[in-house]
Chains A and B, each alone.
Chain A
Amino acid sequence: MVMKPKQVTCTEHLNPGNLACAACTEVLGFRHALKVLGPNTIAINGTGCLAVVMQMGVPKVPHFHVLFENAPAVISGIDDALKAMGKRDEVNLLVVAGDGGTADIGLSALSGAIERNQDFIYICFDNESYMNTGGQRSGTTPFGARTSTTPVGRAVQGEDRLPELRKDLMAIIAAHNIPYAASTSIAYPLDFMERVRKASTVRGPSYIHCHSPCPTGWSIESSRTVEVARLAVETGAVVLYEIENGERRLTQKIKKKRKPIREYLAPQGRFRHLLDDPEAIEHLQQVVDRGFAATLASMS
């Protein structure tokens, strides 16, 4: 089930004008999340692009840019303090962070906050590298991608760690037996908003992973970011699903014939060096096929 367009409010909780690159999907996601959560929300923002571009009063809700790795700990303190003061029921507690802050530097803080059953919604906008510092690789950077710390050279071309070792955040979070987690994409806003709505009804931690192509870091034309995000789903590189009290369910219809991975890679400059290499493309296709099959097989 997804939200219907007429269920989406016209009320905006971001003021117009911000410092993001044109076609930034992270801003889009934050905007959509706030439409669902409404004005009674406190947003804690781990360091990243979003924290920087939201400065000078863009959000209309209380917005706290914390450190890179401590957003889950800060929201834990807020959750417990509001409980101690008898004010917890009045407000949604939201963390927004990137994949660097979530998969890498902030993973232990997030793990701790989930394990303590803190009551908050965590949205990770995954653009698969450290974009705020100019596009260095992260724990979620896909195999073969060019970043500024996995350059294309004569000896090594792009990210070369084994594809299986890329951090699967949904699996890591699911291993905590979290009450609610969802894999979402910026290209499916009604689905994303429905997942955020569901997360907001959970008493305890909930996690939303949002695949968010970065036009600047991935070298995509800014008119094509949403299209690229959709191609990720249509090729099976990203699968949309939710885990509700251990029940795993696909949230997007899977077409019988998936598009070849090349269609997802081709619009992205970060994979340009692979496009003329059929072997590499075939290898990436196999990586995606294996991941897709494994995710489908894991459904309840």
Chain B
Amino acid sequence: MKTEFWNGNMAAARAAQRARVQSIAAYPITPQTHTVEYLAKFVADGELHARLTKVESEHSALSACVGASSVGARTFTASCSQGIALMSEVLFFAAGLRLPIVMAVSNRTLSVPVNIWSDHQDTLVNRDTGWIQLYAASVQEVYDLVFTAFKIAENADVLLPVIVAYDGFILSHASEPIVPISQEEADAFMPPPGQGTWPILDPDNPQQFGEVLFPEWYPDFEYKKHQALVGSLGIAAQVWREFGAITGRTLTPIDTWFCEDAELLFVGIGSMMQTTRAAVLGLRARGAKVGLVNIRSFRPFPEQELRQALAGAERVVVLDRDIGYGTTGMVYPDVLRALYALPQRPIALNMIIGTGGKEITPQTIERCFELGLEASGERTVLWPDARGPEEGIPYDESIQLPPAPQPGGCALNGGAG
């Protein structure tokens, strides 16, 4: 296939098309809107033989997906932010019903203050709904993750819905060169749609869905759902290896960069880890022993893989583009859990950056690096890009923020200094 120049929303829509989705229900919300518009155009042009249910809310969007999936259709939706907050009830419902719905999420923060820009608050607050959550760090990853998500979700040992999250605007609206797979390759890789093995509403084989389960049996049900989610990590890895054999791009639950000799390791999710990689290359050029781990599969959480990757570090800095109010960022506690079993535990810090779309530049990451080296570890949650009395940027208007990168001067290709 020739290289295309697509934004993240187009990549998500094209990936769903390649997977031959049969049913789509979605409601527009910035910055996800293009995804729905693209899919509507594909259907209108006859390029995609699916029904697009143009619902009146996000709650109904996911509800319609539940209906479509419960009669066996391959089903796709997209949303973010307030939209996911509105459909939250249905997130639990879809996972409990074990329906393999795939949802693309162009991450955006939640009101109020009103803000349409990216952070991970919207998906992370829904981490415990029973969905698989995968985070893309590039447009190519958006495409690859959305496409492969259908095969992971519909695996008979998984049967769970999947969120593929990618940063709003940063990935949803920025175009990057990407290589799609051909329909022939896609059809050889993906089982035909509508042939799934999950229980469906069928008058020839009447079954009852969504019924009451009394306390005596409830834990057994929860255990099975949890085990399926845990077990999906290995199945995802297998699906991604098969995909890699076709495309040469093998995705993994985590990515590791310069972990072997690193004294300080960054850990995080999403596109900011690409920026972190650029900053790390710059810091390395100046002799700093620093590396990073990008978490692609946040649910299920790759605890073993992460522990192995972080084992040699003296300091671990978990970057959270979100905040669990009153405690820490939401990625941090899981990383701590991975570290806890290590014989020698590193100092583990949590840095809250880039909330509400505040730009994360290589300079932001360098600031995090400096703070990470200085910090005693007594205070664990730091806000390097917020103005506050105790943080990296004192609450003093006369003190300037780190300078914004000049146009053309911010080298995300690895040359940042």
- Give residues in A with beta carbon < 8 Å to B: 39-42, 44, 51-52, 54-57, 59-67, 69-70, 72-85, 87, 90-91, 108-109, 111-112, 115-116
Contact = CB atoms under 8 A, between A and B. Distances in A.
A96 B197 CA distance: 28
Contact of B211 (A56, A84, A90, A116): A56
B29 interface: no
Interface string B104-128: 0000000000000000000000000
B206 A60 contact: yes
A73 B25 CA distance: 10
A62 to B, nearest CB: 4
Nearest to B25: A77
B202 A69 contact: no
A111 B57 CA distance: 11
Interface in B46-94: 49-57, 59-61, 63-73, 75, 89-90, 93
Chain B CB within 10 Å, residue with most, of A44, A80, A91? A80
B203 A84 contact: no
Contact of A62 (B56, B64, B93, B203): B203
A159 B210 CA distance: 34
Nearest to B67: A77
A42 to B, nearest CB: 5
Interface residues on B, range: 35 or more
16 contacts: A39-B203, A40-B203, A41-B203, A42-B201, A52-B212, A55-B211, A59-B208, A60-B206, A64-B208, A67-B90, A72-B60, A76-B25, A76-B64, A77-B66, A79-B67, A80-B68
Contacts of B325: none
Pick the 6 closest A-B CB pairs, nearest first: A77-B67, A77-B64, A112-B56, A73-B60, A81-B68, A73-B63
B201 A62 contact: yes
Given A62-B202, A63-B209, A70 B71 contact: no
A74 B63 contact: yes
Contact of B55 (A63, A66, A76, A78): A76
Interface in B2-27: 22-23, 25
B90 A81 contact: no
A75 B56 CA distance: 14
B211 A67 contact: no
Contact of A65 (B59, B89, B211): B211
Chain B CB within 10 Å, residue with most, of A60, A62, A108, A112? A62
A85 B208 contact: no
Nearest to A87: B71
Given A55-B211, A61-B203, A70-B90, A84 B63 contact: no
A61 B90 CA distance: 24
Contacts of A90: 203
B207 interface: yes
A136 to B, nearest CB: 20
Contacts of A59: 206, 208
B194 interface: yes
Contacts of B90: 67, 70
Chain B CB within 10 Å, residue with most, of A54, A70, A112? A70
A100 B52 CA distance: 29
B210 A78 contact: no
Contacts of B209: 62-65
Chain A CB within 10 Å, residue with most, of B54, B66, B194? B66
A33 to B, nearest CB: 15
A87 B201 CA distance: 12
Contact of A81 (B59, B67, B207, B211): B67
Contacts of B54: 116
A112 B55 contact: yes
Contact of B70 (A54, A73, A78): A78
Contacts of A109: 56-57, 59-60, 63
A55 B212 contact: yes
Contact of B208 (A63, A69, A80): A63
Contact of A67 (B50, B56, B89): B89
Contacts of B89: 67
Contacts of B63: 66-67, 70, 73-74, 77, 109
A206 B89 CA distance: 27
Chain A CB within 10 Å, residue with most, of B22, B60, B207? B60
Chain B CB within 10 Å, residue with most, of A51, A83, A84, A108? A84
A77 B201 contact: no
A203 to B, nearest CB: 16
B22 A85 contact: yes
A77 B202 contact: no
A73 B208 contact: no
Nearest to B65: A77
Contacts of B61: 73
Contacts of B194: 85
Given A62-B203, A74-B64, A80 B210 contact: no
A80 B206 contact: no
B34 to A, nearest CB: 22
B60 A76 contact: yes
Contacts of A111: 56
A69 B86 CA distance: 12
A63 B210 CA distance: 9
A45 B93 CA distance: 14
Contacts of A62: 201-203, 206-209
A198 to B, nearest CB: 21
B201 A84 contact: no
Given A73-B64, A76-B67, A84 B93 contact: no
A108 B55 CA distance: 10
A42 B202 CA distance: 7
A66 B71 CA distance: 14
B72 A84 contact: no
Contact of A84 (B50, B59, B60, B65): B50
Given A77-B63, A84-B50, A112-B56, A64 B203 contact: no
Contacts of A64: 70, 201, 208-210
Contact of A74 (B49, B66, B206, B208): B66
B287 to A, nearest CB: 57
A93 B141 CA distance: 39
Contacts of A70: 59-60, 63, 66, 90
